[in-house]
Amino acid sequence: MYNYENIRNIHFEVSSLCNAECPVCNRRLSGGPKNPIMTERAVTLEQFKKWFPDDLLKQLDQLLLCGNYGDPMTAPDLIPILTYFREVNPYGTISMNTNAGGRDKKFWEDLSEVIGEFGRVVFSVDGLEDTNHLYRKGVNWKKVMTAMTAFTSTKKARATWEFLVFEHNQHQIAEARELSKKLGMHEFWAKKAMGFMNSDIGKPVIRALNIDGSFAYNLYSPDEEWQNEAIKNPPLKYKPLSSELMPQKAMKLEDITEIFNYNSKFFNSSFSPMAEDPEGAKKIDNCDIVCEALNWAEPELQSVFVSSTGIVFPCCFTASKYVGTASYETMQLRAFVESYGEETITLSDTKNLKDILESDLMQNGYVNRWNKNSIDEGKLYTCGIFCGKDVNTELKSTKESMGQ
């Protein structure tokens, strides 16, 4: 059960704004049309102080800035927010992930200064000048180099280069690793990518769309050395779009909206994940869910995720699915939360984090669902996928690859 005094890690989505159009990100449909139900906003310093009082900030071991829908660097008040956090908690770890494709040289120098020795920035850069933009669509390479060079030049904070491996960039791993050393980075992670779909066109693929929904290109899986374990049996089946057959054809707005329509076929009670993915559903039915956020092994070290709109979830995985495309997984999670009322877990002028953590939803709701015998009985699909023991080979494979 959650205990306010045991919160040691807050995963904070300081902004849902982003300059990139990554194909696997939930803020866009395959890197194309924007998610129409997502709220775009950046948290201000004033809002940060209201949501996170000093007593809470002082007890934190880590403030993690990554998010699901945005890049932290897009928050206008990021430096003031982190400066304030440092004033309250001088020794807490600040960890931030970014595509590095924005802001100026001074921003990155200032960021390094305020993070200091107790923190790091993870630069998500997937290739070199001729390849990074293929997955990190919309990201400018010159800005990336400005960011990484400026940040590391101060030698104040740790820097990590995180490199997702695809067929188109696998030949650049050694060169990128050497560049990271020249820049003075402390770590280089060649990381196995997730999100590939099974296909009849050769290797597993990740589809990339243009902003208007027309087909752009496919990204293919790398050689076996860098393939995610799940590639052997990708859970998603690749289905060609009409825009692929007619590449210049844009998607209609109503077609995009329908993909996020929570009153679509996925809300039909007859729909079952057992019919769509019987092997995966059986694994979840039979698994024990061990929540990393509640940290059963060390309950005095708990964590929560707070979205840019102030909604509190146990983790980024549950938060990411809450406004994702219409699916059984999303609909089940939304129905669960809405049975208590979304306001139950939303920070406001009258509801603080302590109130939310003491609510029945956070004290008993999730735990009761984890203890269900099957998905049909209400066992949470999302929690089973990500925290079901021995279920998510894809996530496990990716995590393990970062240690190589």
**DSSP letters of 276-327?**
H-HHHHHHHHHPPB--TTTTTTSTTSEEEEE-TT-BEESSHHHHHHHTSSS-
Amino acid making up residue 89: N
Across the chain, mean pLDDT equals 89
Q: Which helix (H) or strand (E) holds 329?
A: helix 328-338
Query: Among 359, 317, 310, 319, which Cα is nearest to 339's?
Result: 359
Specify which of 26-35, 150-159, 196-205, 298-307 reaches the highest per-range mean pLDDT: 150-159
Confidence (pLDDT) at 269: 44
Confidence (pLDDT) at 146: 98
User: Does the structure show a pLDDT above 90 at 274?
Assistant: no
pLDDT band, residue 266 (cuts 50/70/90):
very low
- In this predicted model, what pLDDT tens digit does every residue of 245-260 receive, in sequence order? 445 567 776 777 777 7
Confidence (pLDDT) at 9: 97
Domains of the chain (ranges; CATH) run 4-98+194-401 (3.20.20)
pLDDT band, residue 278 (cuts 50/70/90):
low
Phi (first) and psi of residue 82, to 5 degrees = -70, -35
Q: Read off the pLDDT of each residue in 8-36 and give the average, rounded to a whole number.
A: 95
Confidence (pLDDT) at 226: 86
Q: How far apart are CA 128 and CA 176, in angstroms?
A: 7
Residues making up the chain, counted from first to last: 404
> Buried b / exposed e across 351-378, counting CB within 10 Å, b at 16+?
bbbeebbebebbeebbeebbeeeebeeb
- In this predicted model, what pLDDT tens digit does every residue of 148-176 receive, in sequence order? 999 999 999 999 999 999 999 999 999 99
Q: Read off the pLDDT of each residue in 104-123 and give the average, rounded to a whole number.
A: 98
For a pLDDT cut of 90, what percent of the chain falls above it? 68
Helix, strand, coil distribution of the chain in percent, nearest 5: 40, 15, 45
Q: How far apart are CA 204 and CA 60, in angstroms?
A: 41
Contact at 8 Å (CB) between 16 and 320? no
Contact at 8 Å (CB) between 250 and 212? yes
